Amino acid sequence: MYSIAREYDRAPYDGRNNKSFDFGEVEKAAKGAEKNRHRAEVETVDRERVPSLPASTLPPAQPAYIFRGHATSIHALLFLHKNLWLLSGDADGYVVLWLMTTKRPIAVWQAHEDSILGLGTWGEDRLITHGRDSRLRVWSLDGIDDPDAGFSAKPPVDAQTLNLKQPWLLHALEISTLNFCSFANCGIPPRDVADTAVDGVRLLVAVPGHKDSDVEIYELPSEKQVALIPAPAQTSGRAGMVMALALLRKSHGRDVHVVCGYENGRACIFKQQASTWELIYSAQPHSQPILSLDVAPSLDAFFTSGADAMVVKHPLFAANATMKEVQTKHSGQQGLRVRDDARILATAGWDSKMRVYSSKTLKELAVLKWHKEGCYALDFALVESQATDSSLDDTTSLQTPSMAREKKARNTHWLAAGSKDGKVSLWDIY
């Protein structure tokens, strides 16, 4: 209740040992206080009737580390050497080999005179780089982590970029690079015992052809062109340029399949039939050019993303399987990669965000935000081999600090993302 005595005690002193007091003002204040008390009681009851939503106590995801050193945008990323190395390629043609245990460069060189389009491996110690200078090169990585080998460890932003030592160049192919499509590769068995294949495996390399919509396939180590796949003939309209490629063969089989994504948004699969290539799948779910694709043979599926906002799951080998489309409302997702356990996939966005999706449902699981400019490339560390890798299973008491760092580098579920800002963010997810 409102107390007049309490209000009297608050009245100002008038200088005559008593307090001036206006009972009219007191009555007005009393009515106002009672009204406010009633309103507070009503608001308390209303708050009790409305269930409160639990506030999230988790802060936004933050990268585990930021690799700085490139002077231009990052266009390609690749984990290799059982996740102990991370390779990044930029728009000036430089590649940086980072040691994951120390997060420092161990080798820097200019692989191409123009932007890097793609990175890949052939065996344990051979690196493939693809540049917009119309060259595809195979380098030997043997001894590249030797401190006495003479490779520069200064990143491109700091190094004197002239006359940097390069690894040993093993093969060089002159190819067409009229667009931004990277190469694709897969191993095939050797022809005979005398074959000079690496680790018992020959390599097929698919690249965009000199004509729009054509795909050329080369064989290594012979460096010969072995196939030419023309534009799909059973499609309406012009397919346009080849925008994304994947090359694979079924387990324990010799039949090679080429997955193509085209400028008009069409995705196709070609199967090798003796000396010809048969179109076995064709669909056009995208209204804009396909920017990236990746395959998941264990799911019998491949995935595409494009300049539109669609992410699509296509059947790979199953004839009667259906296609699944998801409208993400985020256009310009590229660099799509499926993790080797086929549980999740991720894309790099023009809006500077990386998005992680379920491979089964295409449900968005996470949005990773750190970069201020668009992202062009990403890669997952291998996770399937971690369960069978026993090389670092020593007891904790016997591990040195370097062994502990190596174990963490190999066993963490890394996701690396490269941006236009020249930085690579490293994330630990799922």
Range name among 73-87, 89-103, 181-195, 258-272 with the lowest pLDDT average? 181-195
Q: What is the mean pLDDT of residues 74-99?
A: 96
The pLDDT value recorded for residue 250 is: 79
Contact, 303 vs 323, CB < 8 A? no
HSE-CB at 70 with a 13 A cutoff on CA atoms is 31
Measured torsion, CA atoms of residues 185, 180, 93, 337, in degrees rounded to the nearest 10: -50
List, for residues 348-378, the tens digit of each pLDDT value: 999 999 999 999 999 999 999 999 999 999 9
List, for residues 252-301, the tens digit of each pLDDT value: 667 899 999 999 999 999 998 877 899 999 999 999 999 999 999 999 99
pTM, two decimals, is 0.82
List, for residues 373-425, the tens digit of each pLDDT value: 999 999 999 987 654 455 555 555 567 888 888 898 889 999 999 999 999 99
Q: How far apart are CA 391 and CA 83, in angstroms?
A: 13
pLDDT at 8 over 90: no
Count the Cβ atoms, other than its own, within 10 Å of residue 244.
25
The pLDDT value recorded for residue 137 is: 97
Q: How far apart are CA 366 and CA 378, in angstroms?
A: 15
List, for residues 165-221, the tens digit of each pLDDT value: 999 999 999 998 777 899 999 988 776 545 555 666 789 999 999 888 899 999 999
The pLDDT value recorded for residue 402 is: 83
Count the Cβ atoms, other than its own, within 10 Å of residue 137.
19
Amino acid at the residue 321: A
Distances, alpha carbon 277 to alpha carbons 153, 226, 235, 281, 342, in Å: 45, 12, 16, 12, 28
The pLDDT value recorded for residue 199 is: 61
pLDDT at 329 over 50: yes
Phi, psi of 354, deg, nearest 5: -100, 135
Q: What is the mean pLDDT of residues 231-240?
A: 76
Q: How far apart are CA 348 and CA 292, in angstroms?
A: 10
List, for residues 9-61, the tens digit of each pLDDT value: 444 434 444 444 343 443 454 445 555 554 544 344 343 333 443 444 567 88
Q: What is the mean pLDDT of residues 142-146?
A: 92
The pLDDT value recorded for residue 85 is: 96
Range name among 178-182, 221-225, 230-234, 344-348 with the lowest pLDDT average? 230-234
The pLDDT value recorded for residue 237 is: 66
HEC sequence for the chain: CCCHHHHHHHCCECCCCCECCCHHHHHHHHHHHHHHHHHHHHHHHHHHHCCCCCCCCCCCCCCCEEECCCCCCEEEEEEECCCCEEEEEECCCEEEEEECCCCEEEEEEECCCCCEEEEEECCCCEEEEEECCCEEEEEECCCCCCHHHCCECCCCCCCCCCCCCCCCEEEEEECCCCCCCCCEEEEECCCCCCCCCECCEEEEEEEECCCCCCEEEEEECCCEEEEEECCCCCCCCCCCCEEEEEEEECCCCCCEEEEEEECCCCEEEEEEECCEEEEEEEECCCCCCEEEEEEEHHHCEEEEEECCCEEEEEECCCCCCCCEEEECCCCCEEEEEECCCCCEEEEEECCCEEEEEECCCCCEEEEEECCCCCEEEEEECCCHHHCCCCCCCCCHHHCCHHHHHHHHHHHCCEEEEEECCCCEEEEECC
